[in-house]
Amino acid sequence: MDPFRGVFTQQEAIPDEAIAAAVDVMRSGRLHRYNTLGDELSPASELERNFAAYQGSRYCLACASGGYAMSIALRAAGVQPGDHVLTNSFTLAPVPGAIASVGARPVFVEITENLVLDLADLEAKISETDAKVLLLSSMRGHLCDMDALVSILEDNGILLLEDCAHTMGAKWKDRLSGNFGLAGCFSTQTYKHLNSGEGGLLTSNDPEFMARATMLSGSYMLYDRHGAVPASETFEDIRLETANMSGRMDNLRAAVLLPQLAALEDSIRRWNERYDLIARQLSGLGAIQLPHRPPEERYVGSSIQFRLPSVTPDQARAFLAANKNLGVELKWFGDDNPVGFTSNHHSWKYVDPQKLPVTDQILAGLFDMRIPLSFTLEDCAHISRIIRNTVEELSLSGAA
């Protein structure tokens, strides 16, 4: 088997238009989002306006990171130190980290074999705790039944904040991820759907919530310079009662993002071509189980996950090594020792230990792979052949 020579951390180049826009900002010297002249709209404010229009939301706030967007969303929603906040058991460290950053306590909800929130366990955790907020992490781009989720939350008086780091552009039926609750939190970190190195976006239709978030972000008294912000009168009391916890996006990153946002739908099409090709190739091997994608979901296939349900830890490590030797970089969520970006609830020692037997069983055989747009369809076919080959060579076909 010929090894794969591509690089799994190699994103597509920043578009020439974005590079030119960034150079213009640097030549101006006005990188700070509020350094404008007259009625000029800064790139950060333009990004807010454009992303709100794309998302179909009234308001948008450009932030320093997706994690920061989640943190101020929790604060602006009224979460207090010591409060319980519901969230997915399958997620990445910035999600419980955002909850911990406001002094709150994560309560993890089990997942299903399709890697989405277990709605039955959610109802149980709601009844067992005093939690009033769900920070929903649509981890790796998998959407649960959003209609059923919203119904449960409304029946129980639970606020919904959506972590859309992996679902920018994804839809449930005809509704974009991020539009189902009080707020949507998005990331523009390098490996997300828009790339500014670091960055985040927060959307909402609630004026008081967004006014609080805007003040928390460090707008000083310059909130009227934002591109998609509530009316000035909304800030009348909030502006004096809300702490400044600076986490603004700068104009340089916004300038880089604007052309990428304009091309997002085409990027989604190309990601899904690659995802669908790999999924077809892997689904033909009985040992491998892929999550079911319901017809109501318009996913964004920027990564792919699959399970070897009965694999042992030693077999999982051998599988990782065999693929890596052939140039294919997989992540394994069953390792209690965090590796790079990959970790699970056992390694988050700042969180109260919780028993999650279903999640642990699923993660024990769960593998994950990035699909950068720098890969061609031929690259994706090559990668699929390598994964299939290593499953067969390691005799993992009986793992299912």
3-state helix, strand and coil shares in percent for the chain, rounded to the nearest 5: 40, 15, 45
Contact 204, 182 (CB under 8 A): yes
Given the structure tokens 């399970």, which residue do they identify? 307
What's the whole-model pTM score? 0.96
Cα(323)–Cα(1) distance, integer angstroms: 11
Q: What is the pLDDT of residues 103-131, one digit of tens each?
A: 999 999 999 999 999 999 999 999 999 99
**% of the chain surpassing 70 pLDDT:** 99
The 8-class DSSP code of residue 13 comes to: P
Token pair listed for 204: 């909402």
Q: What is the pLDDT of residues 322-353, one digit of tens each?
A: 999 999 999 999 988 888 888 899 899 999 99
Residue 400 confidence (pLDDT)? 41
Strand 133-137 and strand 183-187: the pairing is unpaired
**% of the chain surpassing 90 pLDDT:** 93
Cα(341)–Cα(343) distance, integer angstroms: 7
Residue type, 26: M
Cα(267)–Cα(118) distance, integer angstroms: 30
Cα(294)–Cα(116) distance, integer angstroms: 12
Cα(239)–Cα(217) distance, integer angstroms: 12
Helix ranges (DSSP H) in 107-193: 119-128, 146-156
Cα(186)–Cα(386) distance, integer angstroms: 33
Residue 149 has, within 13 A of its CA and on its CB side, a CA count of 27
Predicted confidence band at 397 (pLDDT cuts at 50, 70, 90)? Answer: low
Cβ burial, residue 293 (10 Å; 0-12/13-18/19+): middle
pLDDT of 207 over the 60 cut: yes
Contact 186, 73 (CB under 8 A): no
Question: Among candidates 86, 55, 75, 139, which has minimal Cα distance to 333?
Answer: 139
Residue 168 confidence (pLDDT)? 98
End-to-end CA distance of the chain: 24
Predicted confidence band at 395 (pLDDT cuts at 50, 70, 90)? Answer: confident
Q: Dihedral (C-alpha) 346, 347, 348, 351: value to the nearest 10 degrees?
A: 40
Q: Was domain 16-262 assigned CATH 3.40.640.10?
A: yes
Lowest mean pLDDT among 61-75, 89-103, 213-227, 327-341: 327-341
Q: What is the mean pLDDT of the chain?
A: 96
Helix ranges (DSSP H) in the chain: 16-28, 43-55, 66-76, 94-101, 119-128, 146-156, 207-216, 235-241, 251-262, 264-283, 313-325, 357-364, 377-393
Contact 4, 388 (CB under 8 A): no
CATH class, 264-398 region: alpha beta
Q: Average pLDDT for residues 307-328, to the nearest whole number? A: 96
270 vs 341, residue with greater confidence: 270
| Domain locations in the chain as residue ranges | 16-262, 264-398
pLDDT of 399 over the 50 cut: no
Question: Among candidates 249, 185, 248, which has minimal Cα distance to 218?
Answer: 248
Contact 186, 203 (CB under 8 A): yes
Residue 396 confidence (pLDDT)? 79
Q: What is the pLDDT of residues 365-388, one digit of tens each?
A: 999 999 999 999 999 999 999 999
The 8-class DSSP code of residue 117 comes to: B
Whole-angstrom CA distances from 342 to 140, 172, 336, 338 are: 12, 26, 10, 6
In order, the DSSP letters of 173-190 are: TTEETT-SSSEEEEE-ST
Q: What angle do CA 114, 177, 48 make, to 5 degrees?
A: 145
Q: Average pLDDT for residues 21-47, to the nearest whole number? A: 95
Residue 166 confidence (pLDDT)? 98
Residue 117 confidence (pLDDT)? 98
